[in-house]
Structure 1
Amino acid sequence: MLANWKLKEIVLMSILGVVFALVYLLFFFFGQVIRNILTPFGLAAFGYEIIFGIWFIVSIIAAYIIRKPGAAFTSEVIAGVVQVLVGSPAGPALILTAAVQGAGAELPFALTKWRDYRLRILVLAGVSAAFFSFFWHLYSSGNIILAPWLIIATFVVRLISGALLAGVLGKWLSDQLAKTGVVRGYALGKEKQEQREDRAA
Structure 2
Amino acid sequence: MMHPAFYKRTSERSFFADKQSEVGTGQGWQGRKDNAGILFVVLSHSSNYETQVDAIMNTWGGDVREVRADGLLIVGDEARPDHEPPIMGVSMCGDDHGKALCCRIGYALQEAAKQLEEYSWFFVLDDDVYVNIDNARQALLARDPSDLIALGIPNCGVEDAGGFCGGAGYIVSQASLRKIMARSGEAFQADLMGNLVSGADGSVWGDLSVS
Q: Per residue, is there more strand in 1 or in 2?
A: 2
Q: Could you say which structure has the larger radius of gyration?
A: 1
